[in-house]
Amino acid sequence: MDDVQVIREPAEMREQSRRWRSEGHRIGFVPTMGYLHEGHLSLVRLAAARCDRVVVSIFVNPTQFGEGEDLDAYPRDEAGDLAKCREAGAHMAWIPDTPAMYTPGYQTRVEVAELSKPLCGASRPVHFSGVATVVTKLFNVVEPDVAVFGQKDYQQLQVVRRLVQDLDFAVEVLSGPTVREPDGVAMSSRNAYMTSFERSQATCLVQGLRAAWARFDAGERDVDALVAAARATIDRAPDTRVDYVEVRHPETLEPLTTIEDRGVLAMAVFLGKARLIDNTVLGGAQRP
């Protein structure tokens, strides 16, 4: 398989993308922050199945990190990432540096107002405007036909879908299911932060999702009862600190009291320094 090309300058990336388009190629795009794992690669494969050219961006976006978050500690492995990109069928890795993305005097932010408020937005108030801003910038440079995001970051996916609709991006947004480790823990670059003891406790999130599914399958539709089932499982693991466990409307993310059809059960849990997130759509087609 051909080596994956590396581009760093946004202007060069745009040029390459336009060249491909003029040659009639359909361009798929997978934005990432690097330190790639099977979850990322599943999205690359999905893009490769639908498009002739696949661009993976690797950019640890500072505007989506709040004060005191893990921006400086975020794990990096460019050489490893490039090898994985190639294996998964990507054609281009776009790895811009921060000054190229945020030029001096930069002062514009994109805000997806309501979807950014609940769940992760409550404890990470600047996070989703950082995401919406960088996704806008990345889309404007790559001009992809298709962009692929993971359901692992469920709220982010809804924010991006809304952004694309509201700002008239000519991009088809696709999503891929959460890829898990054999013990059920959702793959995440941030799993590297955990000690081996914390890692052994991390299964409590997926077990919480499964406990709620068990109640759902038994006919339970009351949101408080479903949340309680998930929380009881998480609270049994030592050294966990729950940020939130909630059930909300799967598209609007508005609160629900009972599930009519489907509801997204989403959670964020601290295990030591790592803040882990996971989710499932109760009543949906996929189970964790």
Residue 212 is encoded by which pair of tokens?
């709620």
Q: Among this protein's residues, is 40 annotated catalytic?
A: yes
Residue 148 or 223 having the CB closest to ligand AMP: 148
Residue 34 or 256 having the CB closest to ligand AMP: 34
Rule CB under 6 A: choose which of 10, 28, 39, 89 binds ligand AMP. Answer: 39
What is the gyration radius of the CA atoms in the chain, in angstroms? 19
Residue 85 or 229 having the CB closest to ligand AMP: 85
Question: With binding defined as CB under 6 A, does residue 130 bind ligand AMP?
Answer: no
How, if at all, do strands 263-271 and 240-248 pair? antiparallel
Q: How many residues in the shown chain lie near ligand AMP by CB under 6 A?
A: 17
Question: With binding defined as CB under 6 A, does residue 188 bind ligand AMP?
Answer: yes
Residue 21 burial by Cβ neighbours in a 10 Å radius (0-12, 13-18, 19+): middle
The CA-based angle 269-280-207, given to 5 degrees, is 55
71 contacts 45 by C-beta, under 8 angstroms: no
Alpha carbon 19 to chain centroid, angstroms: 29
Cβ of residue 176: shortest distance to ligand AMP, in angstroms?
A: 5
Question: With binding defined as CB under 6 A, does residue 150 bind ligand AMP?
Answer: yes
Question: With binding defined as CB under 6 A, does residue 179 bind ligand AMP?
Answer: yes
Q: Which stretch binds ligand AMP (CB under 6 A): 102-110, 111-119, 165-173, 175-183?
A: 175-183
Closest CA to 101 of 145, 62, 156: 62
- Residue 165: phi, psi to the nearest 5? -70, -45
**Out of 37, 40, 91, 249, which one is annotated catalytic?**
40
Listing DSSP states for 235-261 in one string gives HHSTTEEEEEEEEE-TTT--B-SB-SS
Question: With binding defined as CB under 6 A, does residue 278 bind ligand AMP?
Answer: no
Question: With binding defined as CB under 6 A, does residue 32 bind ligand AMP?
Answer: yes
Residue 209 is encoded by which pair of tokens?
């999702």
Question: With binding defined as CB under 6 A, does residue 247 bind ligand AMP?
Answer: no
Q: Which stretch binds ligand AMP (CB under 6 A): 88-96, 145-153, 204-212, 218-226?
A: 145-153
Amino acid (1-letter code) at residue 267 = M
Positions in the binding site for ligand AMP (CB under 6 A): 32-33, 39-40, 42-43, 149-150, 152-153, 176, 178-179, 186-189
Catalytic residues: 40
